[in-house]
Copies of this chain bind each other. A is one copy, B any other.
Amino acid sequence: MTDLESMGQRAAAAKFELQRLSAEKKNEALSKAAEELLADTKHILEENKRDIIKGEKNGMHPGMIDRLRLTEDRIKGMAEGLNQIIALDDPVGEVLEAFTRPNGLHIHKRRVPLGVIGIIYESRPNVTADAFGLCFKAGNAVILKGGSDAVCSNIAITAAIRRALSACSVCEDAIQLIESTDREVTAQFMKLNRYVDVLIPRGSSGLIQSVVTNSTIPVIETGTGNCHIFVDETADLEKALPIIINAKTQRIGVCNACESLLVHEAVKENFLPALAKAFREHSVEMRADEQIREIITDAIPATDEDYGTEYLDYIISMKTVSSVDEAIAHINKYGTRHSEAILTQNKENADKFLREVDAACVYVNASTRFSDGFEFGFGAEIGISNQKLHARGPMGLKELTSYKYTIEGDGQVRP
């Protein structure tokens, strides 16, 4: 039996215990896990140091080193994250529908955990604690495959959480970490559909595509966001400027940042000079079509590839359109179904945009940066789904559950 097979079996065994846990018991374990992370800070930092030394030796990019690095504050942040999950309502057991059929069968549709969730993620070791916390509160066992770069950190964090579970008499296998850094093991993990109910990749679009292509486990795609803002003919241009600057620059490396701007040709003369000035002040490189470059002469010509690129950087692509229909068609062609916005005072165009743009989150007169579990009021999130199956948009605790039908009768048979 391979290690993965045995991990799958242990997770499948754990899920039956986890689905029975009361909210109180789960909260006790989360609280203890937070404590244990804090108590173990020194050891976790030592192990993290080993990862960092290895990363530096391998010439890892300083930005990546920063993502990998843990500090006392970041460990406190992980513990706080677990404590915040305690405050969220336990979704398990909720009755979603209840009805009685003419033959007397009582049918309930009840919320249940998904079961076993697999998560494949990259460098940031805090995902280990965050992902565990959400999956656990929703009654699921989790098998984690973190980045090879962070393996020592992840082992230390997982060990602390498992100790906490054990201290609370909760099955330790609620969290398991694949420690191997062999790519072949990751490939095998994606085929573990016998035990794993859903696989969530978190990280680069390369990682996500690899999981989508190779997994036999149902996948929830998260993350890739080539988000647009369309400045319509009737946009309030004074409000448009701060919205665009916020969506582009408030945090550049995130999936809900704006990557592309569409401008109605009727407003380009009035709007683009001020916008270009603001972009220059924020060091945003502009890549634009010819009509825009007639006004913003220092913009670089945009290629078709630019319109399909999620930069995650101080770069924006820009294009003129002549109607809301053209804007919608462009977005539906180049977008990644994540977050898309229209700035307009025309209710008809706003409604059309909301209805016809194919994306998880569609905005009128607001920044795309609000696509986020906390901002939606769901509490912590496991990611933003941009597929249509199961969950779309911010995925909180409810999105980490399934349902079952229970049918109670008194001897009914089918005629």
Contacts and interface: CB of A to CB of B under 8 A. Distances in A.
Interface of A: 15-16, 19-20, 99, 101, 105, 107, 114-115, 193, 197-198, 212-213, 216, 218-220, 236, 239, 242-243, 246-247, 250, 332, 350, 354-356, 358-367, 369-371, 375-377, 387-390, 392-393, 402-414
Given A216-B213, A404-B359, A408-B365, A390 B389 contact: yes
Given A20-B356, A105-B366, A413-B242, A405 B375 contact: no
B406 A218 contact: no
B414 A363 contact: no
A403 B387 CA distance: 10
B377 A246 contact: no
Given A236-B411, A408-B350, A358 B114 contact: no
Contact of A390 (B15, B193, B390): B390
Given A193-B212, A360-B405, A362-B404, 13 more contacts: A19-B355, A107-B376, A114-B388, A218-B388, A242-B411, A243-B412, A247-B413, A364-B408, A365-B412, A366-B409, A369-B414, A370-B407, A388-B402
A407 B362 contact: yes
Give the dominant DSSP class at A's interface.
mixed
A404 B354 CA distance: 9
Copies of this chain, tallied across the complex = 2
Given A218-B219, A402-B388, A410 B107 contact: no
Contact of A407 (B19, B219, B366, B402): B366
B358 A115 contact: yes
Given A250-B413, A364-B407, A414-B367, A389 B354 contact: no
Contact of A377 (B101, B218, B242, B393): B101
B218 A365 contact: no
* CB-based closest 4 A-B pairs: A366-B409, A246-B413, A239-B411, A388-B402
A114 B246 CA distance: 31
A389 B413 contact: no
Given A404-B359, A409-B364, A413-B367, A389 B246 contact: no
A271 B53 CA distance: 70
A17 B388 CA distance: 18
